[in-house]
Amino acid sequence: EDQVTQSPEALRLQEGESSSLNCSYTVSGLRGLFWYRQDPGKGPEFLFTLYSAGEEKEKERLKATLTKKESFLHITAPKPEDSATYLCAVQAHYGGATNKLIFGTGTLLAVQP
Amino acid sequence: DTAVSQTPKYLVTQMGNDKSIKCEQNLGHDTMYWYKQDSKKFLKIMFSYNNKELIINETVPNRFSPKSPDKAHLNLHINSLELGDSAVYFCASSQDIAGLKTQYFGPGTRLLVL
């Protein structure tokens, strides 16, 4: 069964304290892995897409990496405005030529000044 | 410019009522989706439409019926609301039918059934 697991469930960091969020997945034939950021009371906001093992993408203090079994979202020198829930999702085959996104339950990140 | 918009933002109603949520996207995308996010923040797909045609229909009670009058709009009608329907419902859209492109989400509709 296609599955996405994120860890930790919650992470508290001091401003400037770098860390990583983990997303491990089980899917038949990975077609893409997505990272989203979700602020309280808002919809998920797209961050990155990764398609193949070894691929890396960066945006400001965030860097996403991908292996054959997991993805990491590295946060370097975080600021309080980086506080949010970070969601990981993989594309899984639904039927025919159609795919669907399967989400993990997210990591709630709190960065304290 | 709001890319994916939903109305209403909040919806409080009694058990047994029928309600609708509306979604509109101005991105020119061909595919639209409905997701349900439960109290534990788990986001799960319910339906997907491509150019007014239903292409994904997950295991959702028949009380939920999506309707797409055109490719820029996807509405969700819920009959005989139950307590367990309380959740946040998100609309999303993407450029392709295969579900390989990035999905862009609306702000969500917070449904509370009393």
> Is B43 in Cβ contact with A87 (below 8 Å)?
yes
Q: Give the residue on A whose Cα is nearest the Cα of B58.
A: A94
- Distance CA(B30)–CA(B49), nearest Å, equals 8
Q: What is the pLDDT of residue A93?
A: 83
Q: What is the pLDDT of residue A95?
A: 82
- Mean pLDDT along residues B28-40: 93
Which two tokens mark A78? Answer: 């975080």
Instruction: Note which residues in 26-55 of chain B have CB less than 8 A from chain A.
Output: 40-45, 48, 55
Instruction: Note which residues in 73-102 of chain A have CB less than 8 A from chain B.
Output: 85, 87, 89, 91, 94, 97-101
Q: What is the pLDDT of residue B3?
A: 93
Confidence check: pLDDT of A106 > 90: yes
Per CB-CB distance under 8 Å, the chain A contacts of B55 are: 98
Per CB-CB distance under 8 Å, the chain A contacts of B92 are: 43
Residue with the two structure tokens 């101005």: B26
> Is A99 in Cβ contact with B108 (below 8 Å)?
no
Other C-beta atoms within 10 Å of B105: how many? 22
Cα angle vertex A100, ends B83, B44, to 5°?
A: 20
Chain A to chain B Cβ contacts (< 8 Å) = 60
Q: What is the pLDDT of residue A28?
A: 83
In tens, the pLDDT along B59-113 reads 789 999 999 999 899 999 999 999 999 999 999 999 987 777 899 999 999 999 9
Confidence check: pLDDT of B2 > 80: no
In tens, the pLDDT along A4-52 reads 999 999 999 999 999 999 999 998 878 899 999 999 999 999 999 999 9
- Say if residues A93 and A29 touch (Cβ distance below 8 Å): yes
Pick from A103, A108, A109 the residue to mutate for testing the B interface (most B CBs within 10 Å). Answer: A103
Confidence check: pLDDT of B1 > 70: no
> Is B108 in Cβ contact with A42 (below 8 Å)?
yes
Distances (CA, A) of B100 to A16, A79, A90, A98: 35, 32, 10, 9
